């Protein structure tokens, strides 16, 4: 009856989608999110890397200070380079869906499918993302007149270098200092941050959606429940993986190689609270994107359903 219908939130699988629409919509949406949350990504990275509260007192303080000293451009340092991570986003979704399909041959349990697929998707995505991350994080660290990281962009003859000039400069410096390995600094730390992050995210997302669905009236739209459970899951996952994220940022920016030493040093200098650095900025940057991703992903899947399937689904 209608009762069971409500409880079973339909999961749209990969074969039901019109791939071309899916990618085009996906990229446009992602760009819109990126532009809106990028400043918080930059702030989170600076907060995680700074010693104690030497530069900024918190998310809001950092926002105001960066605007004041560096203008809007300051909040978008490294943005263009960071855009290349869009590719990894597409690879993530594709790997996620294809792995689910593959796993379902052996095991049809949704939690198992989500875990394995989430993990594999992260692995693929991180291999593309880490080098881009390393470069864009060094760009985020450039402040007026000084840098918070290891590398400082040279100003050529007083005039500010163009964006890709700076990027090239940083790439050359990383390569000089560390060779090819330099671009994979923090690769392990990234995997330790993002694989648990995405593996934890999906089960929590389904869990919150089910909990909410049992608490709310029957006619409450699915989309609303999903829009609430997404950010809840993201906040939960962010909180659990933030300690690792702080370490990842430091390893990548300061060029340390050891996760354990970085962890010890952070504990020695700032105690356990050091592990929460940048958490609120991280949740702020995760929330809008998660809402859009969840609502978008579900809507996207509905919009991208192959035309012949549209009537067969009632939402």
Q: Provide mean pLDDT across the span 142-162.
A: 69
pLDDT band at 245 (very low <50, low <70, confident <90, very high): very high
Q: Provide mean pLDDT across the span 201-213.
A: 87
Q: What is residue 144's predicted lDDT score, i.e. its pLDDT?
A: 75
Q: What is residue 264's predicted lDDT score, i.e. its pLDDT?
A: 93
CA distance 267 to 313: 53
Q: What is residue 42's predicted lDDT score, i.e. its pLDDT?
A: 92
Q: Tell which residue, 132, 141, 127, has the closest CA to residue 45.
A: 141
Q: How distant, in Å, are the alpha carbons of 137, 148, 156, 167 from that of 170?
A: 10, 14, 14, 5
DSSP string computed for 278-298: THHHHHHHHHHHHHHHHHHHH
pTM greater than 0.85 (yes/no): no
pLDDT band at 61 (very low <50, low <70, confident <90, very high): very high
Q: Does position 114 have pLDDT exceeding 90, yes or no?
A: no
Q: Does position 123 have pLDDT exceeding 50, yes or no?
A: yes
Q: Does position 178 have pLDDT exceeding 80, yes or no?
A: yes
∠ CA 72-238-283, rounded to 5°: 35
The helix or strand, by DSSP H or E, that contains position 236, with its residue range, turns out to be helix 222-254
The Cβ of residue 24 has, within 10 Å, a number of other Cβ atoms equal to 11
pLDDT band at 158 (very low <50, low <70, confident <90, very high): very low
Do 140 and 45 form a contact (C-beta atoms < 8 A)?
yes
Query: Which residues have C-beta within 8 Å of that of residue 121, sequence separation ≥ 6?
Result: 91, 92, 93, 95, 96, 99, 198
Q: What is residue 213's predicted lDDT score, i.e. its pLDDT?
A: 86
Q: Tell which residue, 58, 38, 48, has the closest CA to residue 253.
A: 48
- In this predicted model, which residue has the larger pLDDT, 30 or 204? 204
Do 127 and 91 form a contact (C-beta atoms < 8 A)?
no
The Cβ of residue 98 has, within 10 Å, a number of other Cβ atoms equal to 14
Q: What is residue 260's predicted lDDT score, i.e. its pLDDT?
A: 92
Q: Does position 244 have pLDDT exceeding 90, yes or no?
A: yes
Q: Provide mean pLDDT across the span 48-76.
A: 91
Q: Does position 6 have pLDDT exceeding 50, yes or no?
A: no
% of the chain at pLDDT higher than 70: 86
- Model pLDDT for residues 226-240, shown as the tens digit of each residue: 888 989 999 999 999
Q: Where are the beta strands (DSSP E) in 54-177?
A: 142-143, 146-147
- Residues in the chain, overall count: 315
Alpha-helix runs per DSSP H in 148-221: 163-178, 187-215
* Lowest pLDDT segment from 9-13, 147-151, 164-168: 9-13
CA distance 14 to 151: 43
Q: Does position 204 have pLDDT exceeding 50, yes or no?
A: yes
Q: Does position 27 have pLDDT exceeding 60, yes or no?
A: yes
Burial of 9 (0-12, 13-18, 19+ CB in 10 A): middle
Domains and CATH numbers, the chain: 19-308 (1.50.40.10)
CA distance 315 to 309: 13
Query: Which residues have C-beta within 8 Å of that of residue 72, sequence separation ≥ 6?
Result: none
């Amino acid at each position: 009856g209608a009762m069971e219908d409500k409880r079973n939130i339909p999961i749209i699988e990969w074969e039901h989608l019109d791939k071309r629409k899916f990618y085009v919509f996906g990229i446009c949406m992602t760009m819109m999110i990126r532009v809106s949350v990028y400043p918080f990504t930059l702030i989170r990275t600076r907060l995680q890397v700074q010693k104690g509260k030497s530069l900024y007192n918190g998310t809001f303080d950092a926002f105001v200070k960066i605007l004041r000293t560096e203008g809007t451009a300051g909040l978008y340092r490294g943005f263009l380079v960071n855009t290349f991570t869009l590719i990894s986003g597409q690879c993530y979704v594709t790997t996620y869906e294809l792995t689910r399909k593959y796993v379902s041959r052996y095991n049809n349990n949704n939690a198992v499918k989500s875990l394995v697929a989430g993990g594999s998707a992260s692995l693929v995505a991180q291999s593309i993302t880490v080098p881009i991350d390393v470069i864009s994080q060094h760009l985020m660290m450039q402040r007026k007149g000084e840098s918070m990281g290891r590398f400082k962009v040279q100003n050529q003859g007083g005039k500010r270098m163009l964006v890709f000039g700076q990027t090239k400069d940083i790439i050359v410096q990383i390569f000089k200092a560390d060779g090819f390995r330099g671009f994979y600094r923090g690769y392990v730390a990234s995997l330790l941050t993002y694989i648990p992050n995405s593996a934890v995210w999906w089960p929590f997302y389904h869990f919150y959606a089910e909990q909410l669905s049992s608490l709310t009236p029957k006619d409450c739209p699915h989309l609303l429940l999903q829009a609430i459970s997404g950010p809840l899951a993201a906040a939960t996952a962010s909180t659990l993986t933030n300690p690792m994220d702080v370490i990842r940022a430091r390893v990548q920016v300061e060029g340390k190689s050891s996760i354990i030493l970085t962890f010890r040093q952070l504990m020695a200098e700032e105690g356990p609270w050091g592990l929460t650095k940048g958490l609120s900025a991280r949740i702020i940057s995760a929330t809008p994107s998660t809402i859009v991703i969840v609502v978008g992903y579900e809507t996207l899947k509905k919009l991208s359903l192959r035309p012949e399937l549209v009537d067969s689904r009632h939402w």
